[in-house]
Structure 1
Amino acid sequence: MREIFKTVLVLSAEGAVLTLLLMILKPYTSKKFSARWQKYIWLAVIVCMLVPAWKFIPERNVQKYAPQIVTTRQSTNRTDANIVDTKINNGGENGVKPAENPVTKPKIRINIFDLFSYLWLIGVIVFFILGAANYCVFLAKHRKNSINLEENRTFDEVKDELKIKRKICVRISRADTSPMLVGMVFPVIYLPSVPLDKESEKMVFRHELMHFKKRDLLYKYISFAVNALHWFNPFAYVLSTNIAESCETACDTAVVKNMDGDMKNLYMKTILDLAQKKKS
């Protein structure tokens, strides 16, 4: 446990430095790099906080000399043990057997680093349980307050346009919510019960299906895992927020890529109107 916690601390320090550096450079990178590459840059930081890359470096020299060192130590230990046994059997160096040590009660020692290690593990478990429970409650609430949309020609057109073959359910929510995509195994798109014309409805479907096509939900789940492992690090939450923002920006950019000016304006107006209705 101690070694795992040490590894997490090193990964957390790496992520904090990289996140701080990217936040400082964000005004520059947001202008010089595309939204897609900005998302990948933040994802690279996530990988750095999850994967201890130094553990994959081969230690050839250590493996080469390790057997010799072990053999030498074993032979030395055996020689020392034989000398000690001989002295004891002969009554010690002066011919007198050493007195037996009185039985002492073992002392319980608590290492402060071990204590922090177990506190970290408890925090990870609690974070995962609370996060999973809140997400399940969130899904159950929205499913209960929604009805299934059996057939929608506009939705099928957008799916064909984006070349998506996966079955995705569409539900109309009676709750005050904005359009959203949930579920990796059984994906569902929730739409608010707000009347939309065909073009606006198409814009909404394009946005949510683009999230599905770009696997943005997977990135958010991985971001949640980073938050759980590094729950004590405030930069992990900054990283998670930036991942969510970069996914949204990259999605919007991909949707409007081949649109003319009027269509872009309609898209932005539709997204902003639905967001405002949720707030109100």
Structure 2
Amino acid sequence: MMELLLSLSIASFVGSMIWIVQSSMRPITQKVFSQAWHYYTALIPVFFLLGGTEIMIRMIQFIHSFLTSKSVMIPSQSIIEQIEHISLIEHTVAGNPPFMQTLVDSLLQFANIHDLFVITLATWIAGIIVFLAVNANNYWVFKRSILQNSRAANMDIKSVKVFISPNAITPMVIGFLKPVIVMPDTCLGKQETAMILSHELIHINRRDLLVKFFVLLANAIHWFNPMVYFISKQTNIYCELSCDEKVVQEMDSESRRLYGETLLSMLEYGVMRRNLMGISSLYHSKEDMKRRLGNLMSAKKTKKSIVMLSLVASIVLVGSGGIAANYASAAAGTSSKYLREGGSNVTVVSSDGTTISYDKEGNIIPVALRHEPRVFTKEEIVERIKLHIKKGIPVPEGYITQLKKQGEKDELAALFDGINQIDLFTEDGVSTFNVADLIKS
């Protein structure tokens, strides 16, 4: 439960940070990149909000493990000879802990932390249900009202139905799985009608309504984050801008002017209303429409060099988001994990100051993931000795010493049953001991 809430918080944080970076760079990118680039890169925060954060964390960790597996191994004999001492419990990393790690650690100190997590989880789920229920109801009510008294249009468009509705105030596409085009019952010329249909068909061919659904889903999951609402609005704006850009790409200035006049006629005919899921309409606010008209005359073909630059910029955005997600996960999620599970198994300190730590399963722990020391219980020590034996890793001498101090020689004998010799981490390095002598001493 705690891991779910932490993952949710990290995803919301990373998605918001990417959007902030994009917004700060927009005055520059608007002069260089196409509206289509802005539309598709606006979906990068949505990707991180909908599970991309976890995907990128795992990918980065896999790459890091692959690169370090060849250079960081279980200490060989040459390294073991440099070992100065072994610690039974993990050392605290020098310096101040990251903010998120400190925050998580502080939360874990509350006596009723479990109840707090339950209440938070229940509130989050309730928010999702309410958000989706409201939007679904608005969609069905609107769709029913638009298609009421509508009639099929006599237009030759393959695989897409076109309806004319007296209730429609602007051309639009409705529906996720089987989208249809709805035209208002107004008098439009043949050329204007062709332009509008071209615009709406681009939405259908690009599956923009499906994209809009995923944006809405991200908004539902992160309903508590105000920035996600801005991300949703920005995505819808760039969806229309990129569509206009594609429609007028091959047009001359006169045709672009006519297309702009068509947009203005829709603005005069329409009235202000809220954006709904499952709907893609030609109408937007006056401010957005002014922006669209300005882009119509400046739209042009993108050079190959700009295409390559935009691709690099996209990769940098995704990569930066992945690095931020991995850092946030290491600072927050892993901190709480090791606090609950009891820290590391053993830390090997070499003569050059290098340390290698192992968790309770004998896996190497990166320095950034180490936590405060904790004394192990007898049961934990017994379990960890078993895992060390199973993995063939030398057992920390401190484990043996602590069990013997507690009078658990019989437990030791049972652990080493059938084993004549055992390797131990000691202050002098790794040494081999006779099990019978070790238990008697």
Q: TM-score interval w.r.t. the shorter chain? A: 0.7 to 0.9
Tell me what 1:128 maps to: 132
Tell me what 1:179 maps to: 171
Q: Helix, strand or coil for the counterpart of 2:42? A: helix
State whether structure 2 residue 283 is matched by structure 1 residue 279.
Answer: no
Tell me what 1:26 maps to: 26
Return the letter of the residue paired with 2:164. I
- Verify the 8 A CA contact 2:150 2:166 in the aligned structure 1: yes
Q: Helix, strand or coil for the counterpart of 1:111? A: helix
Alignment of 1:1-280 (within 5 A): 1-50=1-50, 51=52, 52=54, 53-56=56-59, 57-58=61-62, 111-149=115-153, 151-153=154-156, 156=157, 165=158, 167-279=159-271
The whole-number CA distance in structure 2 between the counterparts of 1:229 and 1:109 is 23
The whole-number CA distance in structure 1 between the counterparts of 2:113 and 2:231 is 38
The whole-number CA distance in structure 1 between the counterparts of 2:31 and 2:271 is 30
Q: Which structure's residues are more often strand, by fraction?
A: 2
Q: Helix, strand or coil for the counterpart of 2:173? A: strand
Return the letter of the residue paired with 2:207. R
Tell me what 2:344 maps to: none
Q: Where has structure 1 moved over 6 Å in runs of 4 or more? A: 59-62
Tell me what 1:92 maps to: none
* Cα separation, partners in 2 of 1:268 and 1:142, compared to 1, 3 Å: same
- Verify the 8 A CA contact 2:2 2:117 in the aligned structure 1: yes
The whole-number CA distance in structure 1 between the counterparts of 2:238 and 2:195 is 19
Q: Helix, strand or coil for the counterpart of 1:189? A: strand
- Verify the 8 A CA contact 2:168 2:183 in the aligned structure 1: no
Tell me what 2:108 maps to: none
- Verify the 8 A CA contact 1:181 1:208 in the aligned structure 2: yes
The whole-number CA distance in structure 2 between the counterparts of 1:113 and 1:49 is 21
Return the letter of the residue paired with 1:36. A
Q: Helix, strand or coil for the counterpart of 2:218? A: helix
The whole-number CA distance in structure 1 between the counterparts of 2:168 and 2:141 is 16
Task: Normalising by structure 2, report the TM-score.
Answer: 0.48
Alpha-carbon deviation of 1:192? 0.6
Identity over aligned pairs, percent: 31
Give 5+ residue unaligned stretches, structure 1.
66-107, 157-164
Q: Helix, strand or coil for the counterpart of 2:182? A: strand
Alpha-carbon deviation of 1:114? 2.6
Alpha-carbon deviation of 1:226? 0.7
- Verify the 8 A CA contact 2:173 2:180 in the aligned structure 1: yes
- Verify the 8 A CA contact 1:171 1:188 in the aligned structure 2: yes
The whole-number CA distance in structure 1 between the counterparts of 2:220 and 2:235 is 15
- Verify the 8 A CA contact 1:147 1:171 in the aligned structure 2: yes
* Cα separation, partners in 2 of 1:279 and 1:126, compared to 1, 3 Å: closer
Alpha-carbon deviation of 1:109? 7.9
The whole-number CA distance in structure 2 between the counterparts of 1:226 and 1:30 is 25
Q: Helix, strand or coil for the counterpart of 2:270? A: helix
Tell me what 1:85 maps to: none
Q: Helix, strand or coil for the counterpart of 1:133? A: helix
- Verify the 8 A CA contact 2:145 2:167 in the aligned structure 1: no
- Verify the 8 A CA contact 1:2 1:114 in the aligned structure 2: no
The whole-number CA distance in structure 2 between the counterparts of 1:216 and 1:35 is 15
Task: Report the RMSD for the aligned CA atoms in angstroms.
Answer: 2.3
Return the letter of the residue paired with 1:250. S
Task: Normalising by structure 1, report the TM-score.
Answer: 0.75
